[in-house]
Amino acid sequence: MWNRLFKRAPREVMDLPVFQELDRSRLPAHTAIIMDGNGRWAKGQGLLRTAGHAAGADTLKKILKAAIALELPALTIYAFSTENWKRPPVEVDYIMRLFFNRLMQEIDEMDEDNVKIRFIGRINELSPALQELTQKAEDQMKDNTGVQFNVAINYGAQDEILRATKKLMQRVQQGELSPEDVNENSFDDCLDTAGVPPVDFLIRTGGDMRVSNFLLWQSAYAELWFTDTNWPDFTPELFVEALKDFGKRERRFGGLENK
Ligand code: FPP
């Protein structure tokens, strides 16, 4: 099936022994990843923190390829939070240049892989060059039908919720929506992730067990999965292990059983 969908067949993942054990009927509709531990990985290797981010970008490409091979409907990654601006300017500068360069390099291949990209967060506060590139990427891939790949940059969930609330209030004020129609669905429509299913699986690497202001509304019923592995050491194999684990979870959504 994926041979039909993707020009470049990402065989690497399909050949993994763990892949054969995966129940593909029990994959998450929307997987979110907090890619943590780049700095600690670099320190452990005696490298600068920036080298950790470069290695993290390499890992991201492998995981996206895995998501493509697995035909995951949606993947959202936390690339830069609204709080990350507090880091030293050289690090912030490096990360922004990394986003620009990697995106520039990867646009055509992602397009060939039928990926549909979206950037979420306060994109209008990024440099004009990066904004232009994110727009170009979204435009180029807008008709693709493969993995919905959301990249959160300058993103904070509380900020997103407040922006969505303002949008909703405007719609009510302008008479497009009546107050009675303010519900989960109309609120969803005002989020940056509008149209993407709720997060059902949230992965965090790097050993910390918190959600750090990521997709708080969307993750209301998400299954959480943590690993001590730092993001640059995260592998497609570990990703498939995590997905296997997801398949075994009993999801009750507040009810008594999921049968
Ligand atoms: C967290 O590690 C990582 C980040 C804040 C940056 C994430 C960026 C990438 C993985 C680069 C690739 C992304 C794209 C879109 C090309 P940390 O620095 O917080 O690590 P630490 O907790 O060990 O200090």
pLDDT tens-place string over residues 212-241: 999 999 999 999 999 999 999 999 999 999
Q: What is the pTM of this model?
A: 0.93
Ligand 1 contact, 232 CB (< 6 A): no
Beta carbons within 8 Å of 42's beta carbon, 6+ residues apart: 48, 49, 50, 51, 52, 55, 232
Q: Which one is the CATH code of 27-156+199-247: 3.40.1000.10, 3.30.450.20, 3.40.640.10, 3.40.1180.10?
A: 3.40.1180.10
Q: How confident is the model at residue 20 (pLDDT cuts 50, 70, 90)?
A: confident
- Over 80: is that where the pLDDT of 135 sits? yes
Residue 36 annotated to the active site: yes
Percent of the chain exceeding pLDDT 70 equals 94
- Are 230 and 47 contacting, i.e. CB atoms less than 8 angstroms apart? no
Sheet arrangement for strand 74-81: 116-120, 148-155, 74-81, 30-34, 201-204, 223-226
Beta carbons within 8 Å of 68's beta carbon, 6+ residues apart: 2, 6, 10, 113, 114, 115, 146, 147
Substitution site in 33, 50, 53, 102 for ligand 1 pocket (most atoms within 8 Å of beta carbon):
53
- What residue segments make up the domains of the chain, in order of their start? 27-156+199-247
- Over 70: is that where the pLDDT of 10 sits? no
pLDDT for res 7: 45
| Span 93-130, pLDDT tens digits | 999 999 999 999 999 999 999 999 999 999 999 999 99
For ligand 1, the distance from its centroid to the CA atom of residue 201, given in whole angstroms, is: 20
Q: Which atom of ligand 1 has the smallest separation from the CA of 153? A: 15
- Rounded mean pLDDT of the chain? 93
* Residue of 3, 15, 23, 36 with catalytic role: 36
Residue 159 annotated to the active site: no
